[in-house]
Amino acid sequence: MPSDLIFKNAKVITMNPAQPTAELIAVDGDTIFFTGKDSDAERMTGKFTKVIDCGGKTVLPGFNDAHVHIFSLVKQLLSIDLSRARSIDEIKEVVRKKAASTPLGAWISGTDYNEFYIGGGDPTRLDLDEAAPDNPVIISHLSLHSCVLNSMALSLAGITSTTPEPPGGRIERDLATGEPNGVLIDMLNYIRSVIMPKLSEDELNEGLKRVNNLFLSNGITSIQDATVRNSRERWETVCGFVLDRQLKSRVTMMAGAPFRIEFEEVKLKTGSGDNYMQLGAVKILVETRPDQNELNQQVMECHQAGWQIALHAIAESSVEGAVAALEHAAKLSPTVGRRHRIEHCVEMTPDLMNRIKKLGAVIITHPSNLYYSGERYLATVEKSQLPWLYRIKSPLIMGIKVAAASDAPVVPVNPLMGIYGAVMRQAENGQVLLPEERITTMQALELYTVKGAYASNEENIKGALAPGKLADMVVLSDNPLTTPPEKLKDIRVEKTIIGGEVVWEG
């Protein structure tokens, strides 16, 4: 039977144990129907078959980023980049230059400053006032868990010395006067969504154009948006992006816990949608539910309503809370195969790993952080916690399902940097974090392909190059399996294919 499209002369790493390698992939519509040798090409080539010669390059399943934040990424790409700043003076200079070309009174936004690399302290409103006194300014921390506002921005937000501490957030103040110093903890979402003006249509379209290109140029054919503010309105908005092909990567979008009922009212829950846009888990922030009974109740309600659950948990205490809540739900309402997830799961003791294994829960980890923040971790994380930091090999040995993600815009989306991080566990300055937790390149590739698909209940249609699966592929400049580990981060994406269509070429 002639195929619509043939990729030949390729070094195919299929991620399919039944046929680990191939030279040729034949596509019918948006689906793979054959993988084999180049010698099979002739019998599958018809009058209208398009043939793409891969020139001996390596072909993999398209990368699946299991935890990103689309709208935060849009805002990052439209803001000034502070990630390379190495002093508060450098931040002030960048903001000052931006202010010189910004109309008076218009907001200035900067992202990704890191207090560790600028001397160990945050800038304050006075620093930002000096740089841009006539514009409201907001700069966000790399983690997105804190931000700094100048005086004009604080005034627009109505934050003064008499403003009470908000639920789940904190206003840092001058100890002598009680005046806000500009640093706000866990209030970025509020400032962006309530205080700052919404992006104009032109700004949103430009941001989406950049986000789409960013995903495709990095070989990312599937993303999973893990934003707790995802409402039904936002679901419909992103559906429009996908339908209009403004976002070409396939999207699994989580529902924020505060909006779960909105989805249920129109009979939407985990798995609703199609292979371009589906509804994923309910996202719950463990840190904002300090009462374990309250967390248990919330998890139980989502569990009994038929949702997959994604619990945001970073520190050991938060991971403990997440695990306890899942154990509570499993005990009172046993259900097999729901694949509840623990997002980040940064500090994980042996006891917690054993309990996660029994639950059948999935861990979503971020190996790129080992490169971008490794130096900071080694300098600031308590010595007692370092042995439990971003463990990957240990849970894999135990049989726990682990998928990888960038958590963009926290770090760049590049999956090859994540693969490098998982294999080398080496920080940008050369320091190594827990070398005993290093994994093989093949295992790292699995984290971004088959395991990512498993985390979103889609391993039957994506994650491997095999007959019956979607024709989502990436062509790389080099073969990761034969590339020296220290060179993995230098591999480039040359083509990205979604549903048999070449959507990006470098």
Same domain, 213 and 133: no
- Specify which residues 256 forms β-bridges with: 283
Quick one: pLDDT at residue 336? Answer: 82
Domain residues for the domain of 187 are: 79-195
CA 445 to chain centre: 16
Quick one: pLDDT at residue 288? Answer: 75
Would residue 363 count as lying in a domain?
yes
Same domain, 407 and 487: yes
Same domain, 322 and 435: yes
Quick one: pLDDT at residue 287? Answer: 84
Would residue 404 count as lying in a domain?
yes
Q: ∠ CA(215), CA(34), CA(500), 5° rounding?
A: 30
Quick one: pLDDT at residue 2? Answer: 84
Would residue 52 count as lying in a domain?
no
406-417 pLDDT tens trace: 999 999 999 999
Same domain, 262 and 164: no
Same domain, 90 and 156: yes
The letter for the amino acid at 260 is R
- Specify which residues 277 forms β-bridges with: 251
Quick one: pLDDT at residue 1? Answer: 74
Q: Compute and round to an integer the Cα radius of gyration of the chain.
A: 23
Same domain, 246 and 165: no
**Where among 167, 195, 223 does a domain terminate?**
195
Structurally, how many domains does the chain consist of? Answer: 2
Percent of the chain clearing pLDDT 90 (strictly above):
95
What is the average pLDDT across 490-499? 98
Q: Are strands 21-22 and 63-68 parallel, antiparallel or unpaired?
A: unpaired
Prediction pTM value: 0.94
Same domain, 160 and 241: no
Same domain, 125 and 239: no
Which residues 6+ apart lie within 8 Å of 265 measured at CB? none
Same domain, 446 and 480: yes
**Where among 162, 195, 228 does a domain terminate?**
195
Same domain, 214 and 139: no
How many alpha carbons fall within 13 Å on the CB side of residue 153?
A: 32
Which runs of consecutive H residues, i.e. helices, occur in 257-373? 260-265, 292-304, 316-332, 350-359, 368-372
Would residue 349 count as lying in a domain?
yes
The C-alpha atoms of residue 133 and residue 150 are separated, in whole angstroms, by: 8
What is the average pLDDT across 190-204? 94
What is the average pLDDT across 276-305? 93
Would residue 277 count as lying in a domain?
yes
The letter for the amino acid at 451 is K
Q: Is the dihedral of CA 159, 162, 167, 173 positive or negative?
A: positive
How many beta carbons lie within 10 A of that of residue 169, not counting itself?
Answer: 16
Same domain, 273 and 360: yes
Would residue 59 count as lying in a domain?
no
**Three-class SS of 188-206:** HHHHHHHHCCCCCHHHHHH
**Where among 195, 224, 250 does a domain terminate?**
195
Same domain, 265 and 405: yes
Q: What is the CATH number of the domain that holds 339?
A: 3.20.20.140
Q: What is the CATH number of the domain that holds 136?
A: 3.10.310.70
Residue 318 has pLDDT above 80, yes or no: yes
